[in-house]
Structure 1
Amino acid sequence: MVNERYRFTSIGNSAMRIVGALGVALAGLSVIGAATAYGQMEKRSQYEGTTAAVVDGKGNLQVPSDYRTAYQMLGSWAVAKEDGPGSKDLHVVYASPGTIAAYRKDGHFPDGAVLVKEVYHATTQDMTTGTVSSAGTLAGWFVMVKDSVGRFPENKLWGDGWGWAWFDATDPQKTTSTDYKTD
């Protein structure tokens, strides 16, 4: 009888260890699943948060009203005149928050990244330092949104991994672009 009790106790202890190990494994899988789901929700909300002021539900773009204060300046350059000294246009590019750091880390623009390019007609004049071109009147904005998953395949402003649109300086809410391939 003592041996029988020991045998059942031993089997019971082994079963308890197996159940305990399974419980730990299931708990670990639950944590992994929750972390993955949270990461996906975080990615989705980051895309939606970054682009909410730029893209509507149909993929129509607009110039974000706060880009000059909320975005980081990515860089600027001048486009040379075709005839004579100086520049024709000046371009100043801003990137949505986190875009520059993500690009430096991964070498590509993250999904949902927004780029806003201001395009100015340049004024050129001779100064004591030489021929100088500076920003004149604002011609408009070029807005791009990185789209890694093809969210708006039916919208002609989206393709090749980006949403693209030009906005005249007179209306930052309505694009004059109709097709990113031709405009």
Structure 2
Amino acid sequence: MKLPRIVRLAVTVSLVGGTAAALARMSGAAPADQTANVVDAAGHLRVPADYRTLYQALGNWAIAADSGQGSKEMHSVYASPGTIDVYRKTGKFPDGAVLVKEVFATSTNEMTTGTVSRADKLQGWFVMVKDSKGTHPGNPLWGDGWGWSWFDADKPLKTTSTDYHSDCQGCHVPAQATDWIYVNGYPALRH
């Protein structure tokens, strides 16, 4: 049976694209251009508009309430495509990997399963981009192998962070030995 030319072309393109993606994963490289909608030429970061549909779920955190039952915040963390596969293979985040943490205020209620907290109002995002090559020297939001920025819920394109040392890194000091990321909280990184 002879296939029409357009079908042969489509099959060839699919095979070539699949082979290139497989080779990138095997080499430990992050997929090309994954930071294109996150970082501009000057190193200004923004929240990627499509992260919930294109990125992989990395894990979730529940921040306990200061008093009483339940949680005061829920954090949901996403990783750009291919990041989890490369991390599992190499034990490192590949250059260009993007992590997006959503931070939600919670609502806590009694349900049939007990006291339950759920994500309620989005407070903002924390975005990190892996950069072991130091591609934005002099930019105060880049250093120690990452680009770092916080974004309020109403401003996904403009960070409120001015210097990663004072605005971001303090929360990550206990995770310095694991490349500033609390990898123990992300089951997706384990084999």
Please give the range of the TM-score, normalised by the shorter of the 2 chains. Answer: 0.7 to 0.9
Distance of aligned partners of 1:63 and 1:161 in 2 relative to their CA distance in 1, 3 Å threshold: same
Report the equivalent of 2:152.
Answer: 168
Report the equivalent of 1:156.
Answer: 140
Q: What is the correspondence of 1:127-142 to structure 2 with a 5 Å cutoff? A: 127-142=111-126
Specify the SS of the correspondent of 1:50.
Answer: coil
Q: Report the RMSD for the aligned CA atoms in angstroms.
A: 1.9
Specify the SS of the correspondent of 2:165.
Answer: coil
Following the alignment from structure 2 to structure 1, what is the Cα–Cα distance between the partners of residues 120 and 84?
Answer: 27
Following the alignment from structure 2 to structure 1, what is the Cα–Cα distance between the partners of residues 154 and 28?
Answer: 34
Report the equivalent of 1:113.
Answer: 97
Distance of aligned partners of 1:102 and 1:43 in 2 relative to their CA distance in 1, 3 Å threshold: closer
Match of 1:64 among 29, 44, 48: 48
Specify the SS of the correspondent of 1:145.
Answer: strand
Consecutive aligned runs of 4 or more in structure 1 exceeding 6 Å deviation: 42-45
Specify the SS of the correspondent of 1:93.
Answer: strand
Shift of 1:73: 0.6
Equivalent residue pairs, number: 142
Following the alignment from structure 1 to structure 2, what is the Cα–Cα distance between the partners of residues 69 and 125?
Answer: 29
| Amino acid across the alignment from 2:76 | V
Shift of 1:44: 9.2
Specify the SS of the correspondent of 1:109.
Answer: coil
Gaps in structure 2 of 5+ consecutive residues: 1-23, 168-191
Specify the SS of the correspondent of 1:119.
Answer: strand
Distance of aligned partners of 1:97 and 1:44 in 2 relative to their CA distance in 1, 3 Å threshold: closer
Specify the SS of the correspondent of 2:161.
Answer: coil
Specify the SS of the correspondent of 1:182.
Answer: helix
| Amino acid across the alignment from 1:176 | T
Shift of 1:81: 0.9
2:141/2:163 contact within 8 Å kept = yes
- TM-score w.r.t. the length of structure 2 is 0.71
Match of 2:71 among 64, 83, 87: 87
Which entry has the higher C-alpha Rg, 1 or 2?
Answer: 1
Report the equivalent of 1:11.
Answer: none
Following the alignment from structure 1 to structure 2, what is the Cα–Cα distance between the partners of residues 45 and 115?
Answer: 13
2:30/2:95 contact within 8 Å kept = no
Following the alignment from structure 1 to structure 2, what is the Cα–Cα distance between the partners of residues 69 and 77?
Answer: 20
| Amino acid across the alignment from 2:56 | Q
Report the equivalent of 1:144.
Answer: 128
Following the alignment from structure 2 to structure 1, what is the Cα–Cα distance between the partners of residues 80 and 158?
Answer: 20
Gaps in structure 1 of 5+ consecutive residues: 1-38
